[in-house]
A = this chain, B = another copy of it.
Amino acid sequence: MARSLYKTRNMSKPSEPVTEPDYLKAYRIMLTSRIVEEKLANLYRAGMIKGGVFLGRGQEALSVSVGIHLHRGDIFAPLIRDQAGRLAFGDTVLDTLRTYLGSQLGSMRGRDGNIHRGRPREGYYAMISHLGAMIPAVAGGLLAKRLAGEQGFVGATCIGDGGTSTGAFHEGLNAAAVDGLPLVVVVANNQYAYSTPNSRQYACADLVDKAAGYGVAGHKADGTNLLDCLQTLRKAVSAARVGGGPQLVVANLLRLVGHGEHDDFSYLDKKLKQSPVGSDCLLLAEQHIIAQGWKNIGELAEWKRETEDEVNATADRVRREPTPDPEEDDWEALSRAEYREQHTAP
């Protein structure tokens, strides 16, 4: 029988309620994310981005809720559809565009692109493509922080329904559970993995049923509902922060675009689109703000305009930036100069 130190998974301390400013802040980030992504889609169609564009439309409420509850000293390893969470954690529109447009000034300097960007030194890990791989990495970062005597930190990472089928997901979550690490794993169940529907991805009734099998707390959220996402993530992140061990959050929602901008989403089941899971979280959040009387339509339209202007201006600026120069690149995979070698025709 498991005798983990971190057995009590349901920490009682209630988390702070979500206030109007919290909600509005999250909404603005969602809005920015949506507008940046629309810009990316346009740039893609205009042939200005080489390589793929993978958008998070429909997933902003969940994603922002992850990033917004993390702060300096925490770790965040976003995944494919986490533009909103990235911005909430401190990534910028500028670096987003630099990376997609291949500016030499971007954090990845043209060596890697799009969703693979990050700044590991700032707790913002740069995902590799292989799904699941970031889970143990975040767990390890947390272990190192614990060994170094730090306190009160958490780490979060996101994954899709499809990513839960990887061995890496399983090994990483299990290892984190054994050591009771403050890891929050957020599953965006957007009903598809590329074209593959849930029915060909897993057979459990609900992905949150996996939590008990790892001995971690399980949380469900309505991924189309910003308030529910904020509340659930607040609860999960604070439970992890105070020693509750890993937390598995599962949110249902629908990806509102194709897998990537090359994908026409022909496999979408129309019934899903019409069901509650197919709602657009950004629209619902707007409606909520207006219904609450926090802002009126005009004010929201103004925010939108402002953000579009900022994004467009940034894109124009980035397009004038230098692209990476192969002559300047040192073409070295190792940090230590002595270990470098090139053995191609001399």
Q: Interface residues, chain A, CB within 8 Å of chain B?
A: 1-4, 6-7, 165-171, 174-175, 177-178, 180, 197-206, 209-216, 245
Complex contact A213–B212 (CB within 8 A): yes
Q: List 18 A-B contacts (CB under 8 A).
A: A1-B198, A1-B205, A2-B201, A6-B203, A165-B171, A165-B174, A166-B167, A169-B170, A174-B202, A178-B199, A180-B203, A202-B214, A203-B245, A204-B213, A205-B215, A209-B212, A211-B213, A212-B212
| CB–CB B167/A199 < 8 A | no
In contact, B198 and A2 (Cβ under 8 angstroms): yes
Identical chains in the assembly? 2
B residues less than 8 Å from A204 (CB atoms): 2, 177, 212-215
Q: Are A2 and B215 in contact (CB under 8 A)?
A: no
Contact B199 A4 (CB under 8 A): yes
Question: Which 3 residue pairs are nearest across A and B when measured between Cβ atoms?
Answer: A167-B167, A203-B215, A170-B170
Contacts of A197 in B (CB 8 A): 3
Residues of B within 8 A of A177 (CB): 202-204
* A1–B171 touching, CB < 8 Å: no
A3 to chain B, nearest CB (A): 4
Select which of B2, B205, B216, B245 is within 8 A of A2 by beta carbon.
Answer: B205
| Complexed CA–CA distance, A201 and B3 (Å) | 10
Of all chain B residues, the one with the shortest Cβ separation from A175 is B165
Cβ-neighbour of A199 out of B3, B166, B199 (below 8 A): B3
> CA A178 – CA B161 in complex, angstroms?
13
What's the nearest-Cβ distance from chain B to residue A210, in Å?
4
| Residue of B with least CB distance to A172 | B167
Across the two chains, which residue of chain B brings its CB closest to A3?
A: B199
CA A202 to CA B197, docked complex, whole Å: 30
Chain B contacts for A168, CB-based, 8 A: 167
Q: Is the beta-carbon distance between B203 and A178 smaller than 8 angstroms?
A: yes
Nearest Cβ distance between residue A90 and chain B, in whole angstroms? 31
Instruction: Kindly provide the distance from the CB of A234 to the nearest chain B CB, expressed in whole angstroms.
Output: 24
Cα A197 to Cα B3 with chains together (Å): 9
What residues on B are CB-neighbors of A203 within 8 Å? 2, 4, 6-7, 174, 177-178, 180, 214-216, 245
> Nearest-CB distance from A84 to chain B (Å)?
25
**A169 / chain B contacts, CB cutoff of 8 Å:** 170
Chain B residue numbers with a CB within 8 Å of A178 are 199-203
- Contact partners of A216 in chain B: CB under 8 A: 203
Expressed in whole angstroms, the Cα–Cα distance for A199 and B5 within the complex equals: 9
Q: A7–B198 Cα gap in the complex (Å)?
A: 14
Q: Quick check: B2 and A199 within 8 Å, CB to CB?
A: yes
Inter-chain CA distance A78–B4, complex, in Å, is 30
